[in-house]
Amino acid sequence: MSDKATSIDLFSLRTPTMRAFHLAWLAFFVCFFAWFACAPLMPMVKQAFGLSSDDVATLNIAAVSITILARLVIGPMCDRYGPRKVYVALMVAGMAPMLGAALAPTYHAFFWCRLAIGAVGASFVITQYQTSVMFAGNVVGMANATTAGWGNAGAGAAQVAVPLMLAAIVALGMREASAWRLTLALSGVAMPLVAWLYWRYGQDCPQGNYAELRAQGVHIDSGKKGGWRSLMAAGRNYRVWMLFVAYAASFGVEVFIHNVAAVYYVDHFHLSLEGAGVAAGSFGLLAIVARPLGGWLSDRAASRRGLPVRAWLLAALIIGEGGALLVFSHTDHALPAVLAMLLFGICTHMACGAAYALVPFINREALGGVAGIVGAGGNVGAVAAGFLLKGEGDMGHTLAILGVIVCASSVCVAAMRFKTERVAPEVALTAAN
C-alpha cells in the first residue's frame, strides 16, 4: 500500500507506476485499434462476401461476444499471474486472427477469425487492473479513466485511420478487392511490438512482479491468487452486478455504436466511406478527454462528499447518455446527427470513466474478478444491442429503444451503497502524503 502513487506525474517514465500507466494505455490503444479495424471496412467486406444486413449484424455480435468470456477469464488471470504476463500473451496471440481474417477465403472463415479477434477486447480489463494496483484511492479514478480513455481512443482512431490506410494502399496501385485485406493485416502489427515494450519495461505492481514477490513471501493485495475463487468472491457482491448493468448501458452501447456507425452514416445519410469514418471516429476519439474527465470528477466529488457520490454521478451521466441517444435516433440529417452523437459520446465516455472509478472500492482481494465481471458487462450490453437490431431490423428504432433502456438502467446505479472501510487504507495514505 505504501508504494502506491498518490499523484499522476504525466510526463514522467522514471517510476514503475508511471511506466505502467503509459504502457497500459498504449497496449489498450493498439488492441482496440486492431479490434475495431474491421468496422470501417465492413462495407467492403459486405461486398466481398455478398453479405446481407443480417450477416453484418451477426458479424458485429461475433466481434463482441467472445470478449465476454475473455474478460471473465482475463481478470482472475491478472490476480494469479500478474497483468504484465497476461497483457504480453494477449497481444502476441491477438496477431494470429488478424492475419487469418485478412486471408479468409470465405464468409465462414472470416466469421471465425472475427470472433477470435474479439478476445483482444479483454485488454481493457488488464489496463484497469494495472492502474488499480498502482495508484492510491485519491487518484485511482483519474488513473483508471485516463488510461481507459486514451486506450479506448484506439477504436476512434481506427474509424478515421483505417479508411485512410485503405485509400493510400489503393493509390499505390492495389485493387480495392485486395486492399482491404492488406489494410486489415497492417492494423494489428503494433501489438507484438508493444508486447515487447511491456515485457521489457513493465511490472505488475509498485513492489515488483507477482511471481518474484510471492516467492519471497511478500503479501500482495490479490491474496486469493486469482482463478475461480477470485471470480466467485466478486460474484457474491451485489454491487458488482449493479456496475455490470451500468457498464452494459455505457460501454456496451458505445461498442455497438462503434460497430454500426460507419455503415449507418453510409446507408442512412449517404456519406462516403471516408466521411463516415470521420463522423464515426469523432465519437471514439472523444474518449481521450471525456473518459478521464469522468474519472476526475468522480475523484473530486468523492473527496468532498464521500464514496456514494461516485454512484450518483455515474447515474446522472447514464441518464444524459440515454437522452442524447434518443435525440440521435430521431435525427434525419448528417450534421445534427453528428452533433447529437458528440453529446452522446461525451456522456457515454464520462460514464465509462466514472464506472471504473468505482471498481477498486468493491473488493480489493478479488480485484481481477470484479474488473472482469464488470468489463464483461460492457460486452453483454453490446451483444444484447446487436440482437435487438436483428430483431427490430431498423437502426432508428433500435437506437430509440436503447435510449430508453439506458435511462432506466441508471436506477440500478443510484441504488448502490458502500462500506467506508473499503477505502480507509487509501484515505489514510492520502492524508499521510
Which cell is 210 given? 507477482
Are 338 and 279 a contacting pair, CB within 8 Å?
Answer: yes
**Mean pLDDT on 385-402:** 88
pLDDT in tens, 218-266: 876 654 455 667 778 888 888 899 999 999 999 899 888 877 887 788 8
pLDDT grade for 2, boundaries at 50, 70 and 90:
low
**Mean pLDDT on 414-421:** 72
Read off φ and ψ for residue 5, nearest 5 degrees: -75, 135
| Distances from the Cα of 252 to the Cα of 34, 192, 259, 310, 380, angstroms | 18, 27, 11, 20, 7
pLDDT grade for 147, boundaries at 50, 70 and 90:
very high
Annotation: CATH topology of 16-432: Growth Hormone; Chain: A; (1.20.1250)
d(CA 407, CA 239): 19
Q: Is the pLDDT of residue 29 over 80?
A: yes
Neighbours of 289 (CB within 10 A): 15
The pLDDT value recorded for residue 376 is 92
pLDDT in tens, 84-117: 999 999 999 999 999 999 999 999 999 999 999 9
**DSSP code for 182:** H
Share of the chain above pLDDT 70, in %: 94
pLDDT in tens, 299-334: 888 888 777 888 999 999 999 999 999 999 988 888
Q: Is the pLDDT of residue 433 over 50?
A: no
Its pTM stands at: 0.81
Angle 267-248-115 from CA coordinates, rounded to 5°: 65
d(CA 351, CA 291): 7
Q: Is the pLDDT of residue 20 over 70?
A: yes
